[in-house]
Amino acid sequence: MPTKSKQECVIRNLAVQPRGRLTSNICENLVRELVKHLLYMRNQIPGLFEDLDWQVQEYEHQRELQAEKARLAQLQLEADSMQNADLQPGVLKPTQKKKRRLQTSQKRLLKFMQTANSLLDNISADLFTKQPTHLLLAFGPTASRPSEVYSLAFPAVEHCLMAAPQKAMDDVARRLIRTLVMSTQDMPDGKASAGPTKMFLLVHGHFEDNCIPDGFLFKRGFQIRMKKGMQVHMDLTGAVQDQTRAPNFIDPASGEQGLSWYQCKIVLKGLRSPGSNEVDRTG
């Protein structure tokens, strides 16, 4: 891994041309998969998102089984107590209800996944029917001063009542993620990979007051101020970008008229690894 530069912000602009037309459903799936990928690759979760989701489902399934088992045991205990009371009047066994508590790591995982899935719910097909020009994922202590930035530039997005086949949507997402991985291998690690930090989701575009995307709030006067760190900008229009500077939408001097920033209400904090259970990513 190259030595981290201390001079300036490292910028990489990628031109990604999706095959076929870009629909709102494809954009929804694309951004969701990108979020899951970045959470894992930037060391914000201890395993693949799908694996953590499976763990949560297993926790909930086991809790349901335990609750049913406890209910049946309570009914049996009450029946035995009533029988003993008939045989020995005045004697009634006290019923005790034991509640099994979750471990701290399980609580953290359940809370994280609930928040993460709520954020993913805000990345909907309806969001892209409003024609945002850009979507931004910022990792760091604040949205305006992040340590790492990943952005997507969108062309005009078509709205289709019928969703595209899942295979077609997954192909577009895989192509983007493959391009991202192959094109950033020589970039230095940013601060986000050092441990859990916050992830902010923002969209850039022109929305009427009554058409602000669900789950987002207007971000007045928002600007990205980065002297250090890394920026990766993916242009889905296929246009070739200057590698030496950030795109216009992120440059405070650009002053694009009529476009504003909107930030997702949900801010996701990275999940701390449970120590010895951390997934080895070197293989």
* DSSP category for residue 23: B
- CA distance from start to end of the chain: 16
CA distance 32 to 49: 11
Q: Which residue has the tokens 């920026």?
A: 231
Tens-level pLDDT at each residue, the chain (283 residues):
445 445 578 888 888 888 778 889 999 999 999 999 999 999 999 999 999 999 988 887 777 777 777 777 777 777 777 776 655 555 545 555 555 566 778 889 999 999 999 999 999 999 998 889 899 999 999 999 999 999 999 988 887 767 778 888 899 899 999 999 998 888 776 666 677 899 999 999 888 766 888 899 998 888 888 888 889 999 987 765 566 566 666 655 454 556 889 999 999 999 876 653 444 333 3
Alpha-carbon distance values, 108 to 57, 112, 122, 168 (Å) = 14, 6, 22, 34
Rounded to two decimals, what is the model's pTM? 0.79
Q: Output the CA torsion 212→213→215→221 (10° steps).
A: -50
